[in-house]
Structure 1
Amino acid sequence: MSDILCVTNRSLCRGDFLEKIGQIGDARPKAIILREKELEKIEYEDLAREFIKVCEAHGTKPVLHSYPEVARRLGADALHMPLPGLREMAESDRLAFGILGASCHSVEDALEAEMLGCTYITAGHVFETDCKKGLEPRGIDFLRSVCDVSGIPVYAIGGIGPENIAEVRAAGASGACLMSGFMQTGNVKGFMKALEI
């Protein structure tokens, strides 16, 4: 099974967004996280409904982001949360998801996310990336330190591509999250193949 998570960003997407999701699904990542932070809850729910259908049609795990009540309403069993949002969720709400992830930026974040019931975390940003322009990347040593303390899978995020994914795996990460590479490529399967070498 793939060790790649795709994170969406419609503003970076070349071409039709749902068509792109289908192409990514056909490339068989571990999952696709519907991030889309700029959408209000109602708009997000409308998009999520279509997103789930496309993911299921292409045999890929859909993961919703930031809105637990939307995920529950749509029957999704996978949710990714920013850590502050995860802290605010009731334990019963956290337990409602078979797959629960959180975005972590320190060893302390990683330990807290695990304590709060996460089944995986993302850790970053590891390398320089346009998404975090001007912000110093945390680097491979940071990633290694998170992987060393975490009892759950750690997926590196931030500036990862075919040229550096081997470093991420060597640091102990369970895999990597990628956004712009998937959103902008005209050859999703080729891009995925380059990541899996």
Structure 2
Amino acid sequence: MSAKKLIAISDSTACAESILDRIAKLARAKIDMIILREKHLSEALYYDLAKEAIRICNTHHCLCVLHHFKEVALRLDYPFFHACFADLQEDRELKKHFQILGVSVHSQAQINEACKLQCDYVMIGHIFESSCKPSLRSRGLDFLRDCAKNSAIPLYAVGGINAENIATFQDIDIVGVCMRSSLMQCQNVESYLVACAMNLNPSF
């Protein structure tokens, strides 16, 4: 089994500093991917932010994935995009616009649909309780294990994941984990990512 990846999900409303400064620190620290999730912004503001985030990530050879604002990604001719499941249902040919397309899912049925519509990966949750969506019931590790056993598409876990509980994913057949608040609020990004990587992939 290869090393599991660490994915950052941005949230400027919960960030300990400016979101671009945090993105730069994450990219310099060699995070595997940053999903630019800023749904509260207008399309115009997201466009401006996306241009800068992409520039920063490219400088540090880090993959940046745009989120939610499909028209922004198309205007920028940007090939990496993450959609919510409702967007995928609305445009069932979404994949044709993007080189890499990910989607957020909450059930095995949605995983199967994402696979059918040629998505490249799914982000499944919420595994633990999350401040991002406090009204959603956490699904737990057994749910994740069952989905991983039956999935024909790469899975990332999301929801309430941090350096303290990340080791629980070591033996589950997923490609990585996604973190939002823990990576937006940690004081030392580089040392926090090192701790996460060591706890998630102790043999690497």
* TM class, shorter-length: over 0.9
1:68 is aligned, of 67, 70, 74, to: 70
Q: Is the 8 A contact 1:123 1:155 kept in 2?
A: yes
Poorly superposed stretches of 4+, deviation over 6 Å: none
CA-to-aligned-CA distance 1:10-68 (integer Å, 9 cap, x gap): 00111121111000001112210001011121221111111111111121111000122
1:47 is aligned, of 46, 49, 59, to: 49
Partner AA of 1:27 in structure 2:
A
Partner AA of 2:176 in structure 1:
G
Partner AA of 1:108 in structure 2:
A
Q: Is the 8 A contact 1:8 1:32 kept in 2?
A: yes
CA-to-aligned-CA distance 1:71-113 (integer Å, 9 cap, x gap): 122121110000010122252x422211110001011111111
Q: Is the 8 A contact 2:12 2:18 kept in 1?
A: no
TM-score, structure 2 normalization: 0.91
Partner AA of 1:8 in structure 2:
S
Following superposition, the deviation at residue 185 of structure 1 comes to: 1.1
Separation in 1 of the partners of 2:196 and 2:118?
29
Separation in 1 of the partners of 2:163 and 2:48?
33
> Does the C-alpha gap of structure 1 residues 165 and 72 become closer, same or farther in structure 2, counting only changes over 3 Å?
same
Unaligned segments of structure 1, at least 5 residues:
none
Q: % of aligned pairs identical? A: 39
TM-score, structure 1 normalization: 0.94
1:95 and 2:105 are equivalent in the alignment: no
Partner AA of 1:86 in structure 2:
L
Root mean square deviation, CA, Å: 1.5
1:4 is aligned, of 3, 6, 24, to: 6
Following superposition, the deviation at residue 151 of structure 1 comes to: 1.3
1:86 and 2:88 are equivalent in the alignment: yes
Separation in 2 of the partners of 1:21 and 1:61?
11
2:202 aligns to what?
A: none
Partner AA of 1:152 in structure 2:
I
